[in-house]
Structure 1
Amino acid sequence: MRKLLFFMAIVIGTSIQAQKGEFNVGVNAGLPVGDISDAYSFTLGAEANYLFDVADKFKAGPSVAFINFFGKEQEVFGLSLGSIGDAQFLPIAAAARYEASDKFSIGADIGYGVGISQGNEGGFYYRPVVSY
């Protein structure tokens, strides 16, 4: 019985592999589009994620970021109404990446953007990703 348990422990121990992941950090910039571009001029952000190999050329894992939308000066008929304050978000998301080649990948982050700035409730977060 001891030999059988010892043999099973060796077989199980050698077949278990730890999933190795890849830690990534990045900085990004963007231009707001649509209605939000009336109030904000550009965005800057930073992201960190930890991606696991799920399948050949496909990775997935958790992601967290910080994004700042820079407010614009508001004018009506040439009169200044003041500026809109910056808006900050803390997106917490699931990230997925598909490596189309050694240097090119596409993917998306989907999750919830926690509103940090005053009056900002946050909401659904989606970010398409193309990297080279």
Structure 2
Amino acid sequence: MRRTFIFSAAFLLMAAEQVRAQSSDITTRNSWLKIGANVGVPVGNISDYSSFTAGLELKGQFLETPHLGIGLTTGYNHYFAKNGFQDFGTIPLGAFIRYYPRSKGFFAGLDLGYSFVTGYDGATGGFYLKPQLGYHNYNWNFFGYFNDVFRSTDDGGDIGSVGVGATYNIRFRKHK
């Protein structure tokens, strides 16, 4: 887990530095909000307690170059409990990076940060990592993801899920 965290943090910092090195202002032309939803199935030990997850996402993206976007992300993911267990949720707060090889088509991304656990007394959150692969166009992003909240086994272990999602780009100016 520590190695994954260090690698992910280094990757995000290098990408952010690359973007920062190309001095540019945030404008309505290169920044927008993304709002979306996702559904998935829990994986790992958490799948013993939850059978389904659904969530909402809110992101603020800054596209420094035509191929690289960075931003902040939050949302809510609800884990629906199996019989005899309790529903709970996670609230991620993090940063993200997206690589867009072309203006339309394939993209790859990574969200990372801290995720808080809600609705379950005594539960703790942890560092989270959410790699994504998908398709994008001017208005939409459709993606598959793996999400993992790293927690100690004393706290119940990791909270993981795999699934699909979509986000809609809310732009601050009209497309020409």
Q: TM-score range by the shorter chain?
A: 0.7 to 0.9
* 2:73 corresponds to which of 52, 63, 68: 63
Q: Which runs of 5+ in 1 are unaligned?
A: 1-15, 74-82
Alpha-carbon offset, residue 36 of structure 1 = 1.1
Aligned residue number for residue 48 of structure 1: 58
Query: Which blocks of at least 5 consecutive residues in structure 2 are unaligned?
Result: 1-22, 136-176
Identify the residue that residue 23 of structure 1 maps to in structure 2: 33
What is the correspondence of 1:97-108 to structure 2 with a 5 Å cutoff? Answer: 97-101=98-102, 102-108=104-110
Q: Give the aligned length.
A: 108
Greater gyration radius: 1
Q: Is the 8 A contact 2:86 2:120 kept in 1?
A: no
CA distance in 2, matches of 1:91, 1:59: 19
Output one character per residue of 1:58-79: Cα deviation in whole Å (capped at 9) or x when no partner.
1001001100011111xxxxxx
Structure 1 length normalisation: TM-score?
A: 0.75
Tell me the equivalent position of 2:88: 87
Q: Paired residue for 2:129, among 114, 123, 126?
A: 126
Give the TM-score normalised by structure 2.
0.57
- Structure 1 outlier segments of 4+, above 4 Å: none
Distance 2:90 2:66 in 1: 33
Q: Which of 109, 112, 116 matches 2:111?
A: 109
State how far apart, in whole Å, the 1-side matches of 2:70 and 2:88 are: 28
Q: Structure 1: how far apart are the matches of 2:67 and 2:50?
A: 37
